[in-house]
Structure 1
Amino acid sequence: MSKPEIKDYGFKELFPGKEPVVDVVAIHGLDGHRENTWTDGGILWLRHFLPLSLPRARVLTYGYDADTQHETCVSTQNIHRHAQKLAQSLSMNRKDDPRRPIIFIAHDLGGIILKKVYQMNDNSTRC
């Protein structure tokens, strides 16, 4: 099993959308990959099929080190660090239109990281 490379981490735009009104963000799970997780039979459905139904959606996928299987090096990041990185990367990636709605597709650990982002944001706005 090959370990994802650093170039596979962070956001990748799969479809820019035609005058986008929403962002779709896919976050893989444990031992996943930002593209391979969403591939079936060699077809990346986020790129090939989703835009057919949502042509005005910008489609993004997010990769992070979630490796637990590699023989020599596994992830040492914790949920909080993954969530911080996701929140920072999301903010930077959406700086041109920060108020555009987001639809998240999260699998497994990706959902837990996303929940942590919401918790961190909720705690930072409290007095």
Structure 2
Amino acid sequence: MVVVDDDFDALTVLHMRIRTPILAIIAVHGALGGHAFGSWTFRGPGSNGAGAMWLRDFLPDEIPQSRIMTYGYNSNITDTDSVAGIRSYGSSLLNIINDMRTTSKEKERPIIFICHSLGGIVVKEALNRARVHN
């Protein structure tokens, strides 16, 4: 059972059809004040008001052998001059990924990051930390 809060903080699995996926996809939103779920949702004409979340509703059909996740963090950083938030989010993302990938097979599974704006900076921070710690 997957428990999800309304904020989608941390890593949330949106799709995993097969028991042993061959690929991990992690989407990291980047809009200031954005949301790990809502930032990837279309609520325009033809969406019936509910919206279509393309990571969950469309991407699995294209890449069914993947595990698709979204990483949520508080992107309301406009009232601060500190980069500590980005460092913290990158560190948190890296720690979650490391905790999730415990077997050698999981550690070898490729990860594709889908990033948008500030999310790319968060992922860059996580990758820099991974490089330093390995």
TM bracket, shorter-chain basis: 0.7 to 0.9
Per the alignment, residue 36 of structure 1 pairs with: 38
Tell me the residue number matched to 1:20: 21
Once the two structures are TM-superposed, the CA of residue 95 in structure 1 deviates from its matched residue by: 2.5
Using the TM superposition, give the Cα deviation of residue 6 of structure 1 relative to its aligned residue in structure 2, in angstroms. Answer: 7.7
SS in 1 for 2:114: strand
Q: Which runs of 4+ in 1 moved over 6 A?
A: none
Q: Percent identity among equivalent residues?
A: 32
TM-score normalised by the chain length of structure 1: 0.81
2:92 corresponds to which letter in structure 1?
A: K
Name the residue aligned to 2:72.
63
Tell me the CA shift for residue 94 of structure 1: 2.6
Matched residues, number: 117
Q: TM-score, normalization: structure 2?
A: 0.77
TM-superposition CA deviations, 1:19-47 (whole Å, max 9, x none): 41000100011321110011012100101
- For residues 17 and 104 of structure 1, the distance between their equivalents in structure 2, rounded to whole angstroms, comes to 19
2:114 alignment partner AA: I
Query: Could you say if the C-alpha distance between residues 107 and 10 of structure 1 is closer, same or farther in structure 2, counting changes exceeding 3 Å?
Result: same
State the alpha-carbon separation in 2 of the partners of residues 17 and 102 from structure 1: 17
Which residue does the alignment assign to 1:51? 60
Deviation of 1:58 after TM superposition, in Å, equals: 0.6
Alignment partner of 1:99 is 2:101: no
The Cα of 1:113 is off from its aligned counterpart by 0.9
Structure-2 change in CA distance of 1:24 and 1:113 (3 Å): same
Q: Which runs of 5+ in 2 are unaligned?
A: 44-50
Kindly report the root-mean-square deviation, in angstroms, between the aligned alpha carbons of the 2 structures.
2.3
